[in-house]
Amino acid sequence: MELDKLGGLVVIAPRHWSEAYIGSILSENTSRVQRFISTARQRQATPLNYGAGTMHLYLGERYPLELKPALGRKSNVSFNGHEIHIQSRQHDAESVRKVLQGWYEARAMKVLNARLQTIAARADWVRITPVPMKLRRMKRTWGNCSSSGLIKLNTHLIKAPLSVIDSVVAHEICHLQEMNHGKAFYALLEQLNPNWRADRLRLRSDARLYLQ
Ligand SMILES: [Zn+2]
């Protein structure tokens, strides 16, 4: 048994074992399985550390930090698809955290806004384009929509996979038309994201990974 990077349980078993058989073994050992999951998740969720080589989430994947001295006064972050390179004058945890956070914010502004405008283009009830968006680092909400049509998205979403970002964005776009979670709201959501139920469960179970 092991946990995947998002904390889901992965069971390694011989190829010829059926899912039902594996399920029956797991259910005979529930307390052992639960103990394993909770210790492994605790290990995964330990407070982030910002040293060289520590892993940080971006769009649903974890990447190691590479720390280099800054050439000038300004710090700089670049991402090559494999590592997050941070050039800064100081490499203590607090300085690196701030630089990384600035990068997350810049990426969130770009990526979340692009997803918002793309999905809004598929919603025929959206009248104002581009849809106005703001970012906030929030503890409990992924997004909200004001009656004036401003969509606020949680900056931490940049750590989640695109499919998760899209599901939050689709939800808020439906609020541009229906402020409440009534039948009409879910009819729109069904149109924009037929997969919303599974996406919502996934976001709930992975929330603590993104909110740190
Ligand atoms: Zn809502």
**In the predicted structure, residue 26 carries a pLDDT above the cut 90:** no
- On the CB side of 114, how many CA atoms lie within 13 Å of its CA? 8
Quick one: 120 and 36 in the same domain?
no
CA–CA separation, 122 and 118 (whole Å) = 7
Quick one: 110 and 33 in the same domain?
no
For residue 98, being part of any structural domain is answered with no
Residue 16 burial by CB count (10 A; 0-12/13-18/19+): exposed, middle or buried?
exposed
CA distances from 90 to 71, 80, 98, 167 (A): 12, 22, 11, 38
Whether the Cβ atoms of residue 136 and residue 112 lie closer than 8 Å to each other:
no
CA–CA separation, 107 and 187 (whole Å) = 31
Q: Report CA(62)–ligand 1 centroid distance (Å).
A: 29
Q: Which residues on adjacent β-strands are paired with residue 73?
A: none
Q: Report CA(54)–ligand 1 centroid distance (Å).
A: 35
Quick one: 131 and 201 in the same domain?
yes
CA–CA separation, 193 and 200 (whole Å) = 11
CATH assignment at residue 139: 3.30.2010.10
For residue 75, being part of any structural domain is answered with no
Whether the Cβ atoms of residue 1 and residue 10 lie closer than 8 Å to each other:
yes
Cis check for the bond before 132: say yes or no (omega within 30 of 0). no
Q: Looking at residue 212, what is its pLDDT?
A: 80
Average pLDDT over residues 161-175: 97
For residue 69, being part of any structural domain is answered with no
Structural domains in the chain (count): 2
For residue 164, being part of any structural domain is answered with yes
Q: Report CA(37)–ligand 1 centroid distance (Å).
A: 31
Q: Report CA(180)–ligand 1 centroid distance (Å).
A: 7
**Range of lowest pLDDT (6-15, 80-89, 177-186):** 6-15
Q: Report CA(205)–ligand 1 centroid distance (Å).
A: 18
Q: Report CA(104)–ligand 1 centroid distance (Å).
A: 24
Quick one: 110 and 204 in the same domain?
yes
Quick one: 109 and 37 in the same domain?
no
For residue 49, being part of any structural domain is answered with no
Quick one: 192 and 112 in the same domain?
yes
Q: Report CA(197)–ligand 1 centroid distance (Å).
A: 13
Question: Higher-confidence residue: 23 or 63?
Answer: 63
Closest CA to 84 of 55, 59, 111: 55
Prediction pTM value: 0.77
For residue 123, being part of any structural domain is answered with yes
| Residue 166 belongs to domain spanning | 105-210
For residue 62, being part of any structural domain is answered with no
Quick one: 203 and 116 in the same domain?
yes
Task: Identify the residue whose tokens are 């229906």.
Answer: 178
Q: Report CA(18)–ligand 1 centroid distance (Å).
A: 40
- On the CB side of 120, how many CA atoms lie within 13 Å of its CA? 23
**Range of lowest pLDDT (13-17, 60-64, 71-75, 105-109):** 13-17
Write the DSSP assignment of 113-153 as a string of letters. HHHHHHHHTT-TT--SSSPPEEEE--SS-SEEE-TTS-EEE
CA–CA separation, 69 and 164 (whole Å) = 35
Q: Report CA(143)–ligand 1 centroid distance (Å).
A: 8
Q: Report CA(45)–ligand 1 centroid distance (Å).
A: 27
Q: Report CA(144)–ligand 1 centroid distance (Å).
A: 7
For residue 135, being part of any structural domain is answered with yes
Q: Report CA(148)–ligand 1 centroid distance (Å).
A: 15
Q: Report CA(189)–ligand 1 centroid distance (Å).
A: 10
